[in-house]
Every structure is written in structure tokens, then in C-alpha cells.
Amino acid sequence: MPNGISFADAESAYNDADVCIYGIPYDHTACFRAGAREGPMAIRRASYNFERSHFEHGRLPELSVFDYGDCDDFFYPEDMIDEVMFAMGNPIRDGKFTVAFGGEHSVNIPIIRCFQERSIALISIDAHLDSRDEYMGAANSHACIMRRAAEHLGLDNVYVLGVRSVADEELDRDDAVPFVSAYDILDNGIEKAVSLALDSVKAEKVYLTVDIDGIDPAFAPGTGTPEPFGLHPYDVKKAINAIGDRLVGFDVCEVCPPADPTGCTAVLAARLAKEAMSVYARRL
């Protein structure tokens, strides 16, 4: 690791690895409270809390995991985007399962662009629809990630779960990004919402991005823009398992350690990353 500790049990060299982990400590378009740049290291530290494997998945083959470390701390989103595309292009082209830690949610923009054949769908778990054309003059803001993904993958390959904060300008348009609200999920269950999303998107392969603010602030208080009435953490575990064999990559963003004094938000993010890797290990 060039800059600090690696994720727990990430002991492989790149060439031998099934999974490639990457940290993107970027938070310069944050609008409410910044600090997500400290997310990747807090999540790695939290990862040492857990057993190597999780018994509910049965005996899975042991994963070979490589931790690439973090990219530099850039100011302009465009510089971050170039660097992430350079770093993550290789593992994605090489067919590795990628796990990324933000940083704010804008770090997802370059990851999705690395899928140059555009044959994936993006499912996002987020309190916010994040589908503006631009926000405060920035097209690559965290508030625009689903719009950028829809431009790259098609509107029929994006879906958001857990939404409870949307601007009128995001709804009053013909190409609104499809979503299931947190209220609907709390009333009717995550299973229904995930199967709706999986049936709606065109691509077979699914990349899952989790903005930790999709989860209720009671469970994940350490984030930049907390929003009440969110999902239960177990809903997100179930969603990862329901995507199952279709899952090709995962990231978790918006963990903000300065707002997370107990560290429980980073622990949850680390555990969700381990869940995604366990689901991936089933197919080896």
C-alpha cells in the first residue's frame, strides 16, 4: 500500500487478484459538510473488525483481493475523473470485480465511464435522485451522477432505490431517472423494489453504487447530507444478495468521518463491501 493500511485480508498482487479495491478521497463538490475525503481510510480501518468470511453465505472459495490504495486528493472533479479512469480502467478491462470507496458520490462518474462497451446497468441506493443536468455550475457534481450515467448507459439502464429527496426540476422532464422511494421500500419491502429495478434495466450486468445516506441516519449518521426516513442496513444487505450473480462492481460513498464520531458509519460501509465480495465469491 503506497499510502497507509490496506483493506483487511487484501493480500494479493494485482495479477492474482479476483477483486481490486480502490479509494477515491475526493470531496470538493460537497455542498453541506465536507470530510468524505477521509472515507476510504476510515472504511479500511473498520474492515479489521470482521471475520474473514460470513457464515450465512456457507463455505465460499477464499477471494484474492488487491488493494490499489488511494488516488491523489484533487481539487477539480475533471482531474479526479481522469485519474480514476486511468486507475480503474485496467481492472475493469481485465474483468476483475471492483470495489471502490469514496469520497463523495461524484467518484462514481469515472468508474461507470470505464465500462466503455456500456453493457452494464447502474443501480444506486441513495436518499437523493442525483439526476440534475448540472449543480452550482458543475456537470460532474455529486448531484448529477445519475444524469451522467444515463448519458453513458442509457436511461433504461439506470435506477435509484431509497429516494426521499428530489428537486422539482428532476421530476418535471420526460427523461426523469426512474426510482423507488424509501417510503415505498419501508412500506412494501426491499425485495419488490430490487426486482422492479432488475426487471426494468436492459443490461444483464449490474454495477451497484451505495450512497451511505440512502440508509437511515439512525444507522449511518456520519455522512454529508443526512436525510431522515431511510432504509434499514439489512435492506441493503438483501439488495446486494438479490442482485447476486448479476453484480459486477460495487462502491460505497459519502462516508464522512468527521461527522462519524463512533465510527459506526464506516463499519457499516466496510461490512457492505464485504457483503458484495461474498456475493461475488459465490460464482468462483
Q: Which residues in this chain contact Mn ion in the complex, by CB under 5 A?
A: 126-128, 211, 213
Helix residue ranges, H only, the chain: 39-47, 77-93, 108-113, 145-153, 168-171, 182-188, 190-200, 233-243, 264-281
Q: What separation in angstroms does the CA of 78 have from each of 83, 158, 180?
A: 9, 22, 30
What's 143's DSSP letter? G
User: 18 or 213: whose CB is closer to Mn ion?
Assistant: 213
Q: How far is the CB of 31 from Mn ion (least distance, A)?
A: 11
Q: In terms of CB distance, is 144 or 270 closer to Mn ion?
A: 144
Task: Tell me whether strands 179-181 and 158-163 are parallel, antiparallel or unpaired.
Answer: parallel
Minimum gap (Å) between residue 213 Cβ and Mn ion: 4
In the complex with Mn ion, the residue whose CB is nearer, 128 or 237, is 128
> In angstroms, how far is CA 230 from the centroid of its own chain?
16
For residue 69, give the DSSP letter: E
User: Among 102, 80, 98, which residue's Cα sits nearest to residue 88?
Assistant: 98
Q: Whole-number minimum distance, CB 255 to Mn ion, in Å?
A: 12
3-state secondary structure 108-126: HHHHHHCCCCCCEEEEEEC
Closer residue to Mn ion in complex, CB, 211/251: 211
Smallest separation, CB 235 to Mn ion (Å): 16
Shorter beta-carbon distance to Mn ion: residue 127 or 193: 127
**How many CA atoms, within 13 angstroms, populate the side-chain half-sphere of residue 33?**
14
Residue (45 or 128) nearer to Mn ion, CB: 128
Closest contact distance (angstroms) between CB of 136 and Mn ion is 15
Of 43, 75, 74, which is closest to residue 87 (Cα–Cα)? 74
Is 121 or 231 the residue whose CB approaches Mn ion more closely? 231
Query: Of 23 and 217, which CB lies nearer to Mn ion in the complex structure?
Result: 217
Contact 239, 16 (CB under 8 A): no
Please name the amino acid found at residue 197. Answer: A
Return d(Cα 185, Cα 187) in angstroms, integer: 5
Minimum distance from CB of 23 to Mn ion (Å)?
Answer: 19
Give the nearest distance from C-beta 222 to Mn ion in angstroms. Answer: 13
Strands 158-163 and 19-24: unpaired
Which distant-in-sequence residues (6+ apart) come within 8 Å of 75 by Cβ? 28
- How near is the Cβ of 127 to Mn ion at its closest, in Å? 5
